[in-house]
Amino acid sequence: MKSYLAAAIQMTSQPDLESNLIQAEDLIELAVRRGADLVSLPENFSFLGKEEDKIAQAEAIAQKTEKFLTTMAQRFQVTILGGGFPVPVDSGKVYNTALLIAPSGIELARYKKVHLFDVDVPDGNTYRESSTVMAGSELPPVHSCPQLGTLGLSVCYDVRFPELYRHLASKGADVLFVPAAFTAYTGKDHWQILLQARAIENTCYVIAPAQTGRHYAMRQTHGHAMIVDPWGIILADAGDTPGVAIAEINPLRLEQVRRQMPALQHRVFV
Per annotation, catalytic residue among 43, 54, 112, 204: 43
Answer yes or no: are the C-beta atoms of 228 and 206 closer than 8 Å: yes
Q: Is 25 a catalytic residue?
A: no
pTM for this entry:
0.96
Q: Is 113 a catalytic residue?
A: yes
Write down the pLDDT at residue 203: 98
Per annotation, catalytic residue among 54, 66, 112, 113: 113
pLDDT digits (tens, 9 = 90+) for 175-223: 999 999 999 999 999 999 999 999 999 999 999 999 999 988 778 899 9
pLDDT digits (tens, 9 = 90+) for 218-251: 788 999 999 999 999 999 999 999 999 999 999 9
- Pairing state between β 205-208 and 126-128: unpaired
Write down the pLDDT at residue 125: 81
Which parts of the chain sit beneath pLDDT 70?
Answer: none
Per annotation, catalytic residue among 54, 66, 156, 204: 156
Write down the pLDDT at residue 122: 87
Question: Which residues have a Cβ under 8 Å from the Cβ of 254 and sit 6 or more positions away?
Answer: 149, 174, 203, 204, 205, 230
The DSSP H or E segment spanning 142 is strand 142-145
Domains and CATH numbers, the chain: 4-262 (3.60.110.10)
Instruction: Output the DSSP codes for 229-244.
Output: -TTS-EEEE-TTSSEE
Q: Is 43 a catalytic residue?
A: yes
